[in-house]
Amino acid sequence: MIITNGKIYTEKRTIENGYIILKDGIIQSFGEMKYAPKYEGEIIDAKGNHVMPGFIDQHIHGANGADNMDATKEALDNMTHFLPKEGTTSYLPTTMTQSYENVSKALDVIAEYIENDNKPGQAEMLGIHLEGPFISKLHVGAQNPNYVQKPTIENFEKYSKAARGHIKLITYAPEEAEAGFTNHLVSRGVVPSCGHTDADYAKIMEHMEEGLSNMTHFHNAMLPHHHRVPGAVTAGFVCDKLKAELIVDGVHVHRDSIYATYKIKGAENVIAITDAMRAKGLPDGEYDLGGQTVYKVGKECRIESGSLAGSVAEMDFVARNVKEFTGCSMEELILMTSTNSAKQLGVFDRKGSLNIGKDADVIILDKDLMVKTTICRGVVAYEDKAI
């Protein structure tokens, strides 16, 4: 297919009025409209709208009534077909702190789906985000404290085996980890991410030297910046090696704190996420998350204790908030919603930007950053007929 008359954001430059040709699931070529070839295949007229790489959501639990912990092909089908509506073309299905039996079953079902069922035209799973059970009981949030485990190499390997080696990122509390744990994750090709942690500045710095490179929902469920007691957030502010996930739903982090983080970290070190749960896309009411009842009211989801329990944000909503809260350029927005995550997860050779030879994961957004078309690996997965 060919997309014409679009503002094309390629990896190295922006083409004000251009075309992009997709063939066999990859990007074949692009250029200015005045040089566009005659084309007899499928034609999509972008009508002057933004044409950019699809969103990558590296932290999402569920959507549209489905959750990764449901451990069914039907739930995963639901999500992979639903997410393109919000411009998400790839993501990390994220688990919860539950019993070993429940988590390992979910990991096995997700691994099977990755290997045999995740087709073009669906949001692609890039691996698995294991959030818990290796967290601090002092910062469980909406996770179940009854199933918290110590981050040991032996325990990790049990989950890695259940996931058939597909764990791509793991959230854990560094202060609880046995010696060598972070180094071991790096050696296994897993991105170490601190989260739900009571670690202070010194402990974060110690593990950063061993390969810690990501901070799970930065600001949330970790020690904040304080002028006398520097916490995990302080370390995140000063270390560019630590990429900061931000839930930009307007609830988890105040818009001014989003702006401050953007100014301090720079767009190249921020990763926008949804941390969404199954109530995303559904009306207010009661829902389940990790065996706990969640109450959705508007854009907020909370458990009985009052703790926030993930979000119901869509990635396009997150993108609009990032743009509004920070005043960033479109090029910077692409970094925070796609490129940075692709680099962090080691898939930038095929994801995270528009370049020849990369996967044809392309979205068309209008001037208000509303999704008009989503293409997943060369197949149209969502189209707003009003375009």
Q: Are 71 and 111 in contact (CB under 8 A)?
A: no
Q: Are 296 and 282 in contact (CB under 8 A)?
A: yes
Q: Are 268 and 304 in contact (CB under 8 A)?
A: no
CB atoms within 10 A of CB 264: 14
CB atoms within 10 A of CB 117: 14
User: Rounded to 5, what percent of the chain is helix, strand, coil?
Assistant: 30, 30, 40
SS3 53: strand
3-state helix/strand/coil string of 6-37: EEEECCCCEEEEEEEEEECCEEEEEEEHHHCC
**CA 229 remoteness from chain centre:** 30
Locate 251 and state its tokens: 């609830």
CB atoms within 10 A of CB 174: 26
Q: State yes or no: is 24 an active-site residue.
A: no
Locate 368 and state its tokens: 């208000």
**Tokens 């060369």, residue located:** 378
SS3 111: helix
Q: Of 200, 275, 316, 359, which one is the catalytic site residue?
A: 275
Indicate which residues carry an active-site annotation. Answer: 275
